[in-house]
Structure 1
Amino acid sequence: MSQSLLEFLVENEPAFRKSRLPALYSDFQTQRTLNPDGYQANVSAWRKALRHIVSSGLAPAGRGSAPDLFVLHSDEQLLRALESKQYGRPLALGAVVREALAAKDLIPLREFLDAKESIYRRSWSVWNLASWTMKQLGVADFLKKDSLPSGQFVVVANVEEAGKAFGAQNGPAANARSRFERTFTKAHFYRTLNDQLVEGKHLSETDMDILLRFLSRDKSAILYDGNTIKIKSPAGACAADEPDQITTEDASIAQLRELIASLTHQTALLGRRIDELTAQAKQAVAKSNRVAALAALRSRKLAESTLARRFATVNQLEEVAAQIEQAADNVQLVRVMEASGAALASLHARVGGAEGVEEVVGRLREQMAAADEVGSILAESAGAVVVDEAEVDDELAALEGEEKRKAEEAERAEREERERREAEETRRRLAAAGEAPRGDVKLPEPGDNNKDDKEVRAAEDMMSRMSLTETPER
C-alpha cells in the first residue's frame, strides 16, 4: 500500500515530482530559520498532499471501518503507508501536522464536534499570544517534538468543498421547495445525499456528522438538533415565517418523509421479487416441476398481497403529507393576508382615509379656481390684443401676388431663352450649308413678336429655293 500511495502523490500532486521527493522526505525542520521559503514550500506541499489523500479515500483508517473523506487518522499506520523503500519515511511529517493544527487547517475530531462557536472565530488568549510570539522568534521549535502527533483530525478544506457542493444543490433550488420537502431525519438525509456531495465517493457516518455540524454551526445553512434536519429557506423565500429552530412539527414531518421513502423502497423490492418468482414458476413449468411451480406461485401471491398493502399505506401517507403541506400553505397565506391588511391600514392612515382624500381634492379644486380667476384679472389689466383679420387677409393677398409675378417673370425668361437657342441653332445650320441669305432679308430675332408674318414667309421661301450645290459654268 505504501508504494501505491506514493505513486498516487507523484501522479496527482505537481509538487511531488521525483526530483523533489528527497527534499520532501528529509527532515527539513532545520530550514525553518535557515531557509524559510523552502521550509514553507515543503510544508505547503505536504499539507495539500494530506488533504488529497484523505479526500480520495486512500488514507488509512481504523480497522474494519470505511475510509473517512474528512478525517485524517494520524498514527503509525499513516507513516507506514507513506514509507518508501528508496526515501524511507517522511521525517518532517510531524512538523507538517503541527503547522496545520496551528493554522486550523486540521482540527481534532472531538474538538470539532463539541465546539459551540464557529471554527472561523479566532479567540486570542494569553497562551495563544505567547505561542505566536515564540513561533515568530523561532523559540517554539525547542518546545516541540519530532514525532507525529497521533489522533483523528478533521481536514477543514475537504469539509468546505462538500459544503460548497451542498450549497450548489440546495441554495437557489430551495426557493421552489416547501418546508415539507426541506425536512429530513438524519438517516433519511444520509441516504439521500450520501453520494451527491463528493464526486464518486460515499461519506462515512463520521463524515456525515462532521458535515451536519459544519452546515448548521459554521454556515447556518441548516437547522439540526441531532435527529432532525431542516434546510433553511434562502432569503426572499418567506424564511421569516418559519421558526429558527427544530419544532415538533418538523420532527413529525421528517419521520413521515422517512417512512414514505422506506415504504416506497420496499414496494420497489417487492415488485422485483414478484418478477423473479414469476420467472421461477415459468422455468419450473418448462421443466415439468409442478411442486416448484406451485411454491413459486404461492410465494408470488404472498408478495403481491404484501405489495398491495404497502401501496395502500404509501397512498395513505402521501395523502397525509399533502394535507400537511396544504395546512402549511394555509398558515403562510393567512400570515401574508394579515401582513397585507396591516400594510393597507397603515397606508390608509397616512392618507387620512376617504374623508381626508375628499378634503384634499376639494382644497385642490379651490386653489385651481383661484388661479384661473387671478389669470383672468391679469389679462384684463394688461389689455387684450385685438387682431384685424382684414389687414391680415390683405397682407396675405399681397404676398401671394408677389409670388405670382415672380413665377410669371421666371417663365417668360425661360421661354425667351429657349427661342434664342432655337434661332442660334438655325444660324449654325445655315452656315454649315455654305451659303447664308443676302439682301435685306433677315431671320426673325428671338423675342421679336412685332415682325410681319409676310417677312417671315418670304425668308422661309428664299431658304427653300437655295441650292446647296454650285451651278456649273457653261
Structure 2
Amino acid sequence: MTTPATTPVSSPYRKTPSSTISTPKYVQASRSRLQSLYSDFSRQKTSNPASYNANIEWWHRSLEKYVSNGAQGSSRLVLQAGNELIESYRVQGVGKPIGLGAVITELVTPSSSDLPPLYPISSFLSLPNSIYSSKSKLSYVSAIPGLFLSYMVAKPLWWALEQVGVVGEDSIASSISSTFSSSSRSSRADISWFGDYVFLKLVEQTAEAIIEKQASKAVGPSDGLYTFDGFKKDFSDCLGPSQAADEGSDYALMSDVDMKVLLRYLERDKEAVVTDGEIIKFVDATGSLERVSEITTVDRGILELKTAIEDLHAQVDGIHKKIDQCTSKATDALRLKRKSLALSYLRSRKQLEDLLTKRLGALQNLEGTLISVEGAAGDIEILKTYESSTSTLRSILSHPSLQRESIEKTMDALAEANADAKEVDEAVRIGGDVALGVEDIVDESELEAELRGLIEEEKVESEKQNDKKDVKALDDLRDKLSQLQTPTDGREPEEASRNEERDAVMA
C-alpha cells in the first residue's frame, strides 16, 4: 500500500495561514497591494506620481465606503479620523496603515479645478458663501489649518534634503538626532491630521435624495415644516442602509452631526431650507421673497399644531397597544380561572377605551383646525398671486405699443401693407399670363353654359343606359313566359287549342 505524496512544508505552492488574510468589506485588495497601501508612500508624490495618485484614489473609495456603510458608527457623512480609524483598518499579517496622514492631507487639498473630496467639519460649517462659489474656494484655502500646509510642504522638502545628504541616517543631522531617546521619537508621532471631515460627495447625494423626497410629499404648508426630531425621523432613510441600524431595520436614525452638516448644505449651498432655532422650513424656489427668507409666526403656529397632532397620534397608538394587552391578559386570566384578575384587566381596558375616545376627539378637532389654518394660509398665497398677476397685467397694458392710437396706427399700416402686397401679387400674375400667352379676360357665362351642357349630356347618357336595362329585362321576362305557355308532352291537342283561344281573347 502506497501512501499519498504530501507537499513539503517549504514548498511555495503550499497554502499557509499567512497566505490568506481576512479583511473588512471596505478593504478589498491583495496582500501585496495592501502592503503598498499601508506603507508611508508620501515620498512617491514626487518620485512616482502615478503610483501615488493610484494609492490616494484607492483610499478615497475605501474611506467613502467605510463612512457611508456606517462602519464607524452613527455618522454617515463625517469621517472621524483618529486612532479608532487606524485600528479599524488593521489587517492581520499586514498591520496598520501608516500613510493615512498623507491621504487625509491630499483629500482635503483643493485642486485648481475641482473641490476637495473632504472638508474639515469646522471649515465646512463656518464658510459664509456657497462652496461652489469662487469666494468660498479662497476662504477655504485660507481656513486650512497651518499644520496641513506645513505637512504638504515639509514632506517633499524633507525628501529633497535627504537626497543631498543634509538629513537622513548618514547625514550631518543624524548625529544630533541620535541624542534623543527612542521615547522622544515616538512622542513626536504626527497626529495633526486627526479630526472630523465631511465627505462632500455623500452630502451631495443625501441632500438630493432629501429634496426629491420632500418634493414628492409636499402638499400643504405643514408638509414643509419640521422640528429637528421630525427631520431626522422623516429623512434618515435618505442616508441609505447602515450597519449600525437596529435589529429588524435597514436604516439607522440620522445623527446630530449629520443633520447639522446637511442643514448647513441645504441652506447655504442649495437654498432649499431656512432654519430658525429648532425649526426647519423647506422653501419653494418659485415662492415669494417673504416666504423664502424667513420663518413667520404663521409657520410657527402651523408647526405647533402639526407637532401636537403627531404626539396625539403616538398617544392613540400607545393606547391601542395597552387595550390589546389588557384584553390578552384578561383572556389568559379567564383561562386560568382567575376571575377577579380578569375583571381588573377589563376595568383597565374600559378606562383606556374612555381615554381613547377623548384623545380621538381632540385629534379630530386639531386636525380640523390644521386644515382650516392651512386653507387660510393657502388663500393668502393665492391672493398674493392675484395681486402679482394684476400688477403684471397692468404693467403690460401700460406699454406704449398697446395704446389705442398706437394700435389704430399699426392696423392702418398693416392694411396698407396688405393692399400693397395684393397689388404686387396681381401685377406678377398678369405679367406671367402675358408671358405664357394666356388671355387676360375669361367669359364666366360661357364657362357656365359649357358646364350645363356637360351635365345635360351626362343626364341623357344615363337615361339611355337605364332604357337599355329596362328593355333587356322585359325581353328576359317574355322569354320566360313563352316557355311557360309551350304545351308539355302529356297535354291533349284540344286542351292546348282552348288555351290559345283563351289567351287570344284576353289579349
Distance in 1 (CA, whole Å) between partners of 2:258 and 2:142 is: 33
* Counterpart check, 1:81 vs 2:85: no
Distance in 2 (CA, whole Å) between partners of 1:134 and 1:246 is: 44
* Counterpart check, 1:139 vs 2:157: yes
* Counterpart check, 1:268 vs 2:283: no
Cα 1:367–1:33, aligned 2, differ >3 Å: closer, same or farther? closer
Cα 1:113–1:299, aligned 2, differ >3 Å: closer, same or farther? farther
The answer as to whether partners of 2:43 and 2:155 remain within 8 angstroms in 1 is: no
Helix, strand or coil at the partner of 1:91: coil
* Counterpart check, 1:122 vs 2:122: no
What's the CA shift string for 1:273-326, capped at 9, x where partnerless? 111211211221222212211221121122112212221221121111111111
Alignment-derived partner of residue 68 in structure 2: 55
| Residue 101 (structure 1) shift | 2.4
Q: Which moved more, 1:31-40 or 1:303-312?
A: 303-312
| Residue 350 (structure 1) shift | 4.4
The answer as to whether partners of 1:24 and 1:90 remain within 8 angstroms in 2 is: yes
Cα 1:225–1:140, aligned 2, differ >3 Å: closer, same or farther? farther
| Residue 367 (structure 1) shift | 8.0
Question: Equivalent residues in 2 for 1:98-247 (5 A)?
Answer: 98-103=105-110, 104-120=116-132, 121-123=136-138, 138-139=156-157, 146-147=190-191, 149-171=193-215, 173=216, 177-199=219-241, 200-202=250-252, 203-235=254-286, 238-239=287-288, 242-247=291-296
Alignment-derived partner of residue 44 in structure 2: 31
What's the CA shift string for 1:91-127, capped at 9, x where partnerless? 1111111212224432233333343333342016789
TM-score, with structure 1 as normaliser: 0.66
The answer as to whether partners of 2:76 and 2:239 remain within 8 angstroms in 1 is: no
Whichever residue aligns with residue 48 of structure 2, its letter is N
* Structure 2: stretches of 5+ with no match in the other structure: 1-19, 111-115, 162-187, 242-249, 424-439, 455-507
Cα 1:359–1:79, aligned 2, differ >3 Å: closer, same or farther? closer
| Residue 179 (structure 1) shift | 2.2
Helix, strand or coil at the partner of 1:258: helix
Alignment-derived partner of residue 467 in structure 1: none
Higher CA-based Rg: 1
* Counterpart check, 1:21 vs 2:70: no
Q: Which moved more, 1:201-210 or 1:117-126?
A: 117-126
Q: Name which structure has the greater RCO, CA cutoff 8 Å, separation 6+.
A: 2
TM-score, with structure 2 as normaliser: 0.62
Cα 1:19–1:328, aligned 2, differ >3 Å: closer, same or farther? same
**2:101 alignment partner, one of 94, 99, 124:** 94
Helix, strand or coil at the partner of 1:224: strand
Cα 1:50–1:347, aligned 2, differ >3 Å: closer, same or farther? closer
Distance in 2 (CA, whole Å) between partners of 1:107 and 1:142 is: 29
Helix, strand or coil at the partner of 2:79: strand
The answer as to whether partners of 1:260 and 1:318 remain within 8 angstroms in 2 is: yes
Helix, strand or coil at the partner of 1:102: coil
Question: Equivalent residues in 2 for 1:287-436 (5 A)?
Answer: 287-350=336-399
| Residue 366 (structure 1) shift | 11
The answer as to whether partners of 1:29 and 1:95 remain within 8 angstroms in 2 is: yes
The answer as to whether partners of 1:92 and 1:146 remain within 8 angstroms in 2 is: no
Cα 1:303–1:140, aligned 2, differ >3 Å: closer, same or farther? farther
Cα 1:33–1:313, aligned 2, differ >3 Å: closer, same or farther? same
Alignment-derived partner of residue 473 in structure 2: none
Distance in 2 (CA, whole Å) between partners of 1:73 and 1:366 is: 78
Helix, strand or coil at the partner of 2:229: helix
Distance in 2 (CA, whole Å) between partners of 1:54 and 1:362 is: 71
Distance in 2 (CA, whole Å) between partners of 1:71 and 1:388 is: 94
Whichever residue aligns with residue 186 of structure 1, its letter is F
Distance in 2 (CA, whole Å) between partners of 1:389 and 1:24 is: 100
Helix, strand or coil at the partner of 2:222: coil
| Residue 39 (structure 1) shift | 0.9
Cα 1:141–1:312, aligned 2, differ >3 Å: closer, same or farther? farther
What's the CA shift string for 1:16-50, capped at 9, x where partnerless? 23441111112212212211110111111112211
Helix, strand or coil at the partner of 1:311: helix
* Structure 1: stretches of 5+ with no match in the other structure: 60-65, 375-384, 401-474
Cα 1:93–1:354, aligned 2, differ >3 Å: closer, same or farther? closer
Whichever residue aligns with residue 160 of structure 1, its letter is E
The answer as to whether partners of 1:72 and 1:152 remain within 8 angstroms in 2 is: yes
The answer as to whether partners of 1:75 and 1:150 remain within 8 angstroms in 2 is: yes
Sequence identity (%): 28
| Residue 357 (structure 1) shift | 9.5
| Residue 351 (structure 1) shift | 7.8
Helix, strand or coil at the partner of 1:94: helix
The answer as to whether partners of 1:228 and 1:250 remain within 8 angstroms in 2 is: no
Q: Which moved more, 1:144-153 or 1:78-87?
A: 144-153
Distance in 2 (CA, whole Å) between partners of 1:229 and 1:300 is: 39
The answer as to whether partners of 1:107 and 1:156 remain within 8 angstroms in 2 is: yes
Helix, strand or coil at the partner of 1:8: coil
Cα 1:361–1:283, aligned 2, differ >3 Å: closer, same or farther? same
Whichever residue aligns with residue 251 of structure 2, its letter is K
Distance in 1 (CA, whole Å) between partners of 2:151 and 2:35 is: 32
Aligned length: 369
Alignment-derived partner of residue 451 in structure 1: none
Whichever residue aligns with residue 32 of structure 1, its letter is K
Root-mean-square deviation over aligned CA pairs: 4.2
What's the CA shift string for 1:426-458, capped at 9, x where partnerless? xxxxxxxxxxxxxxxxxxxxxxxxxxxxxxxxx
Alignment-derived partner of residue 9 in structure 1: 26
The answer as to whether partners of 2:313 and 2:363 remain within 8 angstroms in 1 is: yes
